[in-house]
Structure 1
């Protein structure tokens, strides 16, 4: 970890959090499966800190078949029960059940010719919104775009995807660049680079 670089203050000094900030947060993602994985992890974060999810992410991916929709749709009550018994993951039945449910929605949409990437990126016109925040207090928890995304996802049948979850997701997958202007990642993420 390079301590000479200026970063967004929310990542603090935890090495795992700093690595997430430096390597993942705000980097545009367009792959449907990768978007679903990230959206699902953001639903798991609801009510928790993102650091909790980061620390459990590898176990969640291991236990829940990589969070890949084609795998999750095969889950039944016994698989959900087995996951609930695994202390390495976030053991919230409603969140686990919503992941299985949302996987079914994603696959149904794909069969209907509506890829997840197109649905989600449409809310930002297909390109990253580059914000110019100078301090963390300026960064919103939700926006009109995240409200619209949440409404559409709900109308399509998704669960646990409210406007705050949607905005955190939009930040994470590079739909919006909320790195502070003083952060060394602002320019790269704003240009759509990694």
Structure 2
């Protein structure tokens, strides 16, 4: 079996290669990092992953490196300022969702559960390996993503439809959809 990266990776895009090799599909357990990955997936809705990835640093600056407590304090004035920032994706609803989602994750933490614990309970703290042969066969969503999406909406998260959540679960390592021929597929 020849070893090569997943088909979706543009080998000419160093940022995409780095993201694939060092983050995508690696089990993530830090709430702040999970919040960032969720936010990136919400920004991607309707756009290319390349666009979002290349604006990631600007988003980190705009959202205080995704510090939950700081982002949760953002006001309408902050949103107006962000709407003028040409370095990010200026979609008011997505920006508002980022702030809302920080607040919802903090509320979860204040109830005594981390976002990490809550999220990983859906997979019994074990990555689901789909043993992907061809990335084109990977679904846009599945029953797990649909369940997590519904549960996220119940705790107050926004912009968390099943397709967005499937991508988030892949990114955060709850689902391993690295192709079997990819050297980053954990055996």
Question: How high is the TM-score relative to the length of structure 1?
Answer: 0.92
Q: Is the 8 A contact 1:64 1:83 kept in 2?
A: no
Give the structure 2 partner of residue 160 of structure 1: 159
Ranges of 4+ aligned residues in structure 1 off by more than 3 Å: none
Partners of 1:127 and 1:82 lie apart in 2 by 41
The within-5 A match list for 1:101-112 is 101-112=100-111
Give the structure 1 partner of residue 118 of structure 2: 119
The within-5 A match list for 1:7-46 is 7-13=5-11, 14-46=13-45
Partners of 2:47 and 2:15 lie apart in 1 by 16
Partners of 1:159 and 1:44 lie apart in 2 by 12
Deviation of the 1:137 alpha carbon: 2.0
Partners of 2:18 and 2:105 lie apart in 1 by 29
**How far does the alpha carbon of each residue in 1:146-176 deviate from its partner, in whole angstroms, 9 at most, with x for none?**
1000000001111000111111001011101
Q: Is the 8 A contact 2:72 2:102 kept in 1?
A: yes
Q: RMSD in angstroms over aligned alpha carbons?
A: 1.2
Structure 1, unmatched stretches of 5+, are: none
Give the structure 2 partner of residue 58 of structure 1: 57
Partners of 1:179 and 1:39 lie apart in 2 by 19
Q: Is the 8 A contact 2:3 2:181 kept in 1?
A: no
Give the structure 2 partner of residue 97 of structure 1: 96
Please say if 1:87 is aligned against 2:86: yes
Give the structure 2 partner of residue 75 of structure 1: 74
Partners of 2:3 and 2:15 lie apart in 1 by 16
3-state SS of paired residue (1:186): coil
Structure 2, unmatched stretches of 5+, are: none
